[in-house]
Amino acid sequence: MNEYLNNLNKSQLKSVVDSNGPSIVIAGAGAGKTRVLTYKIVHLISKGVNPFNILGLTFTNKAAREMKNRIEKIVGSDAKNIWMGTFHSIFAKILRYESELIGYSSNFSIYDTDDSKSLLRRIIKNLNLDIDIYKVNQVQSRISSLKNNLITVNAYNNNFDLKKTRFNFKTRKNWVDL
């Protein structure tokens, strides 16, 4: 089963066999990131790590599928127990599984940028708000900034000073009084 190690260069081999904690592989296009992560997982399983305890994250669904298929060809059905996918898909799965612990149902929706802009347009229209004042991109940016600063809806609603300020969209840094 260790013949997969023969397909690696010196740097890749070092990354694969180093088993001291979590790993992150950063490299340019075509450098073998998928191969290294694939073989790293195979190596961990060959060393007795329970596949259920392995989390493999990538940026694309294609890479995740490719990795899982490669791993399955080498280790067999144990590959089905690996947590493998994109950052978004894995963390959405965890959120759905643990949703009750954070006060949500498991059937929530995740909106992309276009979905959220469309929703904001409908809200602005339904509330008869002035579209020259409530510009979709600015509203979306304000919401994003509040989320990034961990300001909840309740905290925002209960803070008069925060509600009377606006974000300076040019510098993207400073809050300025109205």
pLDDT digits (tens, 9 = 90+) for 53-101: 999 888 888 889 989 999 999 999 888 899 999 999 999 999 999 999 9
Residue 170, domain extent = 113-177
Q: What DSSP designation does 61 have? A: H
Q: Please give the pLDDT value at position 169.
A: 46
Going by their DSSP bridges, the two strands 83-86 and 55-58 should be labelled as parallel
Q: Which amino acid is at 65?
A: R
Model pTM score: 0.64
Q: Please give the pLDDT value at position 176.
A: 42
Distance, in Å, from the CA atom of 50 to the CA atom of 17, rounded to the nearest integer, reads: 17
Same domain, 76 and 160: no
Does residue 8 belong to any structural domain of this protein?
A: yes
Token reading at 81: 């127990």
Q: Is 36 helix (H, G, I), strand (E, B) or coil?
A: helix
Same domain, 124 and 87: no
Read off φ and ψ for residue 177, nearest 5 degrees.
-70, 145
Domain count, the chain: 2
Same domain, 18 and 95: yes
Q: Please give the pLDDT value at position 175.
A: 44
Does residue 108 belong to any structural domain of this protein?
A: no
Does residue 75 belong to any structural domain of this protein?
A: yes
Yes or no: say if 58 and 34 are a contact pair by the CB < 8 Å rule: yes
Q: Please give the pLDDT value at position 174.
A: 44
Same domain, 117 and 98: no
Does residue 146 belong to any structural domain of this protein?
A: yes
Give 10-residue mean pLDDT values along the chain (178 residues). 80 84 80 86 91 90 90 90 91 92 89 92 92 88 84 82 57 43
